[in-house]
Chains A and B, each alone.
Chain A
Amino acid sequence: MKLLAQVRRVGRGRRERTDWWTLLLAIFVLAGLPVQLIIGLTTQRIPASPSAVPVALAVGAVVLFAAMVLAVAMTLGPVRASPAEYTWVLGGPVNRRSELAPRWIRTLIGTSLLGAAVGAIAAMLSRTELAGLGVIVVIGAGLGAALAAAATGLQGCSARVRRSVQAGAAAAGFGWVGVAAVLTRIGVTLPLPWWAAVAGAPLACLLAVLTTVWGWRTIDTLDRIALTAGNALFTATGSAVLFMDPALLGDVLAQRRFSQLRIRRSRSLPAGRTRALLAAEWVRAARNRRAGAVFLVALLVPYVAALVVPARWLPGVVLLCAVPAVSPFGAGLRRVCQSAALRRMLGGTDAALRLIHLAAPAVAALSLTLAAAPAVPAGRWAALALTPIGVLSNLWLRATARPLEFDSLVADLGFGPVPVRLTWFVIRGIAPLAIVLTLQLAV
């Protein structure tokens, strides 16, 4: 033990001092190159942007998307270590940063490339000219790296700070998109300042550099809890993808929520079977604040989509947004369907219990449909009315599905063996959505 302590002390003593001159040179090179590129491109031809409102809408959507990416990155890590790794990283006489940095740098490069690709696709879809394409690609790359680096910086902060940043980013994106959508809806046009097109890329690069320095400094201080907090979710995500069963991920997410849930005062439920069950559903829904946030974001999407998507497709957009918005309100239905012990305890018939627990998702589906109606032209309201049917069918079929079986009947359809139960399990939730979507387009 004495020897280990000595080795650790020596290891700590060997930590290199930060070479600020090299770091500044790296910042200069990294930030300078893209800025020069953008200036070169934009002096040749500044992209024409007649109005600031659509740009603000796009920027708001980017902020909202970035808030979501940041939340996911913070939930998963982004710097993670398996039990074997963290035992070595934290317990061994090694420099923590030197162990964790290679993977972190690869993550930054990956998110940067991903951001650049998303930017390029968005630019091509909006038919931006070459100069504009360059600007957007650089912005995308800068934001991609900045998000991963900022998440790393936040990984070293307290849970309270992380939650505040997450909520603040989501609120900013939500508010920005909302204001821009309203301005577009009422036909306000504002001229775009000339410097806005040029300033975006350098700002994104500067943000990337600053957050990268923050993240780099944080890696050295990450403790076991910070390094392993996302492991369960990461493993569950992998399993859910591998076994094509979203429930594997949903269960871990629900457990995370329950571990953070604090009840100060138990609610008293009204007498009477149906009233008590409905009141319990209401109590559970009110406790799931994340469900409310998802609902609001999902409601915003059709209003934004109405600006760029043809009216024919809008009911379909509402349908697809309604699925994640309504799903959290179906937690009670899923629980009752999956637990025979709970049904026995509650009494009554299975059908009655399921129907009572369908009430909350039904109200959520109807509310979303009604609230999204102003975004859809009156001529498409008949198609929009099909939305609750599609969402609730999807929810019902997923909730009442029997547990997944991987060793069941296999059919040979000429192009290889097809597991029948597994295929049915995967398509039974999607099928009603596909049918309703087809009907919505046909109506």
Chain B
Amino acid sequence: MGGHGQPLLQVSGLRRRFGEHEVLHGLTFDVRAGQAVAVVGPNGSGKSTLLQCVMGIQPPDSGSVTLRGAPLVESDPAVRAELAAVDDSVDFFPDLSVAEHLGLLAAVHDVPDADAVVRALLEEVGLTEQRNQLPGTLSSGQRRRLALASAFVRPRSLLLLDEPEQRLDGQGVDWLIGRLLDEKAAGGAVLFASHHAGLIDAVADARCEPGRQSG
């Protein structure tokens, strides 16, 4: 797949099987700095499985995933420092407010002037009024915005997003498109699974179809 800069993430010959059903058939691609790759395909084609293998949540049956040339291990602190992910498993401390949660993430990742960054991000995702609420009291759309804000509040070089447009309204999707374009412009890499044609067309430099590609 085309792109610019050095390959940040390299996926090579990735296979994943559930019983008799092979979901990933020797998938190979890479994602470079400043590039966005969209994982597309119908339901059940292996988009989320691919992202989970890349995140290190699911071990592949064969093949490799490397970040900056080194094998990607989920529990490796260096990997955690570079990789920010938003999927359905995203979790929050249930007794910290929205602002405190983002403030904690900013502080643990050594973001300078964390309070100002959090304030600006809350404004951007439209959660300023909910800043003192607990995550459990937010609507599903607001929780999605918080999950995305949790990924954007910290430094990262690779963003992994599993259907990030889920539960977002039209305005939210527009904001997400702008954010991902900024991410690319700042030299960040994005790998995202999506069904949203507008988001894919606006952001993706390349597409990857796990259900079709074979090695």
Contacts and interface: CB of A to CB of B under 8 A. Distances in A.
A266 B93 contact: no
B81 A347 contact: yes
Interface string A4-25: 0000000000000000000000
Contact of B94 (A258, A272, A349, A350): A258
A261 B108 contact: no
B110 interface: yes
B95 A273 contact: no
A397 B158 CA distance: 35
B177 interface: no
B104 A258 contact: no
A265 interface: yes
A250 to B, nearest CB: 12
Interface of B: 55, 57, 74-75, 77, 80-81, 83-85, 87, 89-100, 103-105, 107-110, 114-115, 131-134, 136-137, 150, 154
Contacts of A272: 107, 110
A331 B95 CA distance: 10
A160 interface: no
B109 A347 contact: yes
B134 A280 contact: no
Given A261-B134, A277-B108, A347-B80, A267 B91 contact: no
Contact of B93 (A264, A268, A288, A342): A342
Contacts of B85: 344
B105 A346 contact: yes
8 contacts: A258-B95, A263-B97, A267-B100, A269-B107, A273-B108, A283-B100, A341-B91, A343-B75
Interface string A159-176: 000000000000000000
B103 A349 contact: no
Nearest to B93: A335
Given A266-B103, A341-B90, A344-B85, 11 more contacts: A259-B136, A268-B103, A271-B107, A272-B107, A273-B110, A276-B107, A277-B108, A335-B91, A335-B94, A341-B89, A342-B92
A276 B77 contact: no
Nearest to B89: A341
A404 B75 CA distance: 23
A115 interface: no
List of 9 A-B pairs having minimum Cβ-Cβ separation, nearest first: A276-B107, A266-B99, A347-B80, A341-B91, A339-B91, A341-B89, A266-B97, A342-B91, A263-B132
Contacts of B84: 345
Nearest to B99: A266
A39 B127 CA distance: 69
Contacts of A254: 94
A316 B126 CA distance: 53
Interface in A316-363: 331-332, 335, 339-350
A276 B75 contact: no
Contacts of B77: 347-349
Prevailing SS type, chain A contact patch: helix
B100 A269 contact: yes
A259 B85 CA distance: 28
Nearest to A274: B108
B92 A266 contact: no
A338 to B, nearest CB: 9
B105 A280 contact: no
B95 A287 contact: yes
Nearest to B112: A271
B91 A350 contact: no
Given A263-B134, A266-B100, A344-B80, A271 B110 contact: yes
Nearest to A342: B91
A344 B86 CA distance: 11
A270 to B, nearest CB: 7
A109 to B, nearest CB: 40
A347 B81 CA distance: 6
Nearest to B111: A271
B132 A266 contact: yes
Interface string A241-269: 00000000000001100110101111111
B57 A340 contact: yes
A321 to B, nearest CB: 24
Contact of B104 (A265, A276, A288, A349): A276
A340 B80 CA distance: 11
A339 B89 CA distance: 9
Nearest to A287: B95
